[in-house]
Amino acid sequence: MPSTALPPEAHFYIVLNAGSGHSETEERISTIREVMDKSGRVCHLEVVGNPERLEDIAREMAGKALASGGVLVAAGGDGTINTVAHQAVLAGCLFGVLPQGTFNYFGRTHGIPEDLAEAVYAMLRAEVRPVQIGMLNNKIFLVNASVGLYPALLEEREHDKREYGRSRLVAFLSAIKMALRPHRHLRITLELDGKEKRLRTTTLFVGNNRLQMEQVGMEDLTEAVQEGQLVALAPKPMGKLGLLGLLIRGAFGKLGAGDDVVAFAFKSMTVRTPSFYGRKRLKVAADGEVSKMATPFEFRVLEGRLKLLVSSSGRGKPRPVEGTFETA
């Protein structure tokens, strides 16, 4: 989609997640203010210490950004970016990203630097480009959404990160631990293009990020994401060792090498569960944030709904991947 220039007088309304600790937060505040001051740009910075306040603060800042013709900015990991982006979409204001998470799939896909000072400088020189978002019922996702084992894996990963630190190695080992635990298979019915397909799987994973698809070895589906579609992945029924092997293949970018994963692209899909599930709310994850949601689940893509600031020099080129296996 075509890009437009960022108004040079635009104010920046930055929502910073302070979840990493006091010293890191103070350093990030100092970095942001220093770059903004040197550049002569106006910055309104709101630090969120209580995660339960993130949505309300993002909504308030989105209203201010819209009223002034400014930019709402999320500084944090993919979960923080998701919450703030949701308010940007609802308000219809411009949106910027200062990636500060472990994986930063969204930022890297759009060529946004992971170094904070570089990211602020890049944002000030950015263009506005409409990008697509995914929807799971009434919740947006920028990178991925899932139901089944994957949300449980994310919860375990967050627990392990609090215990052992936030690193990609910890995430990988946490995933292995979950794969070796007992797990149930989810019975679902997919309604797609007027047809029904029954599926039994440990997890249904829906991706909206070409970089993540490339990394796990599903390169054949990256073009679908670039052309305005979402991508669904669902492992066929398998035991613990099979699931462990699947994780290892993903770690080495070989997930698409076997025939044990159902994969397809779509623009809209409804997911239903059998009647014996009753009205039970199931765990879902959107960009790493886990919650409970009642079925049916409707996944759909909305093209060009997020007005994202992208570096005019980077042109949205994905940044290289460093480290080992990643799940977000």
The reply to whether 215 and 231 lie within a common domain is yes
The reply to whether 244 and 110 lie within a common domain is no
pLDDT of residue 75: 95
Give how far the C-alpha of residue 46 lies from the chain's centroid of Cα atoms, to the nearest Å. 22
Phi, psi at 53, each rounded to 5°: -95, -5
Its pTM surpasses 0.95: no
pLDDT of residue 328: 46
- Residue 292 Rama label (left phi>0; alpha psi -120 to 50; beta): beta
Q: Are 297 and 147 in contact (CB under 8 A)?
A: yes
CATH code: domain of residue 129: 3.40.50.10330
Place of tokens 């949601």: 293
Paired residues of 224 in beta bridges: none
Separation between Cα atoms, residue 153 and residue 148, nearest integer Å:
9
The token pair that represents 49 in the structure block: 């210490």
pLDDT of residue 252: 79
Asked if residue 317 belongs to a domain, the reply is: no
Asked if residue 293 belongs to a domain, the reply is: no
The reply to whether 272 and 152 lie within a common domain is yes
Separation between Cα atoms, residue 98 and residue 112, nearest integer Å:
8
Return all residues near 152 (Cβ < 8 A) that are at least 6 apart. 178, 183, 283
CATH code: domain of residue 239: 2.60.200.40
Paired residues of 75 in beta bridges: 16, 98
Separation between Cα atoms, residue 58 and residue 158, nearest integer Å:
23
* SS3 at position 68: helix
Asked if residue 323 belongs to a domain, the reply is: no
256: nearest Cα among 217, 209, 214: 217
Separation between Cα atoms, residue 107 and residue 116, nearest integer Å:
12
The token pair that represents 198 in the structure block: 């029954």
pLDDT of residue 324: 33
17: nearest Cα among 82, 103, 109: 82
Asked if residue 18 belongs to a domain, the reply is: yes
Domain ranges, residue 64: 12-137+305-311
Place of tokens 């959404």: 145
* SS3 at position 132: strand
The reply to whether 158 and 100 lie within a common domain is no
Q: Over its length of 328 residues, how does the chain's per-residue pLDDT go in tens digits? A: 577 888 889 999 999 998 756 778 999 999 999 999 999 999 999 999 998 999 999 999 999 999 999 999 999 988 899 999 999 999 999 999 999 877 788 999 999 999 999 999 999 999 999 999 999 999 999 999 999 988 888 888 778 777 777 777 777 787 788 777 877 888 999 999 889 999 999 999 999 999 999 988 998 898 999 899 999 999 999 888 888 888 888 877 888 878 899 999 999 999 998 866 656 789 999 998 999 999 999 999 999 999 999 987 544 444 443 333 343 4
